[in-house]
């Protein structure tokens, strides 16, 4: 694991998205909540959030970070679904692995819940869409310089 102890805390966000191709009939069943295993969208959303929270347990060299927020947006289309996972933290390292893990597990959950009715599903295009880092405070050295410069 990389040592991040000397890095300052920063506000970090990441968004990862992916797609799953579905037959039109499968998309209709999801919309109508008629998949035998239950509410596909609700279960996939919870699975994605849960997965994001467990990322450090799944990816061997990934840091454990405190997540401030994880959101899953799932849009059912005529020929599939699009899943986006956004994650936020204040930490010394990024949160993109959590977003990617959340999106991927949500897609896998959709696959699992629909596999009895759709043998042609395909997960694709999982990628990091956005990554942002903002400083949340100035270093103690900079603050000391400012104090020393005051009259």
Say how far residue 114 (Cα) sits from the centre of its chain. Answer: 21
Element housing 68 (H / E): strand 67-77
Q: Specify whether the backbone of 93 is left (phi greater than 0), alpha (psi in -120 to 50) or beta.
A: beta
CB 101 within 8 A of CB 118: no
Is 112 noted as a catalytic residue in this protein? yes
Joined together, the tokens standing for residue 5 give 């102890």
Active site residue: 28, 39, 78, 112, which one?
112
Q: How far apart are CA 144 and CA 150, in angstroms?
A: 10
First CA to last CA across the chain, in angstroms? 45
Could you list the active site residues? 112
């Amino acid at each position: 694991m990389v040592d991040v102890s000397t890095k300052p805390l920063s506000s970090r966000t990441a968004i990862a998205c992916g797609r799953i191709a579905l037959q039109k009939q499968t998309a209709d069943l999801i919309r109508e909540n008629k998949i035998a295993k239950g509410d596909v969208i609700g279960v996939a959303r919870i699975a994605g959030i849960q997965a994001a929270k467990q990322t450090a347990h799944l990816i061997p060299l990934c840091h454990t970070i405190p997540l401030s927020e994880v959101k899953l947006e799932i849009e059912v289309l005529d020929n599939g679904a699009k899943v986006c996972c956004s994650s936020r933290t204040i930490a010394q390292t990024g949160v993109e692995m959590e977003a990617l893990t959340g999106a991927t597990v949500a897609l896998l959950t959709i696959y699992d819940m629909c596999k009895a009715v759709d043998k042609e599903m395909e997960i694709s295009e999982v990628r990091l869409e956005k990554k942002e880092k903002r400083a949340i405070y100035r270093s103690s050295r900079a603050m000391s310089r400012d104090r020393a410069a005051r009259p």
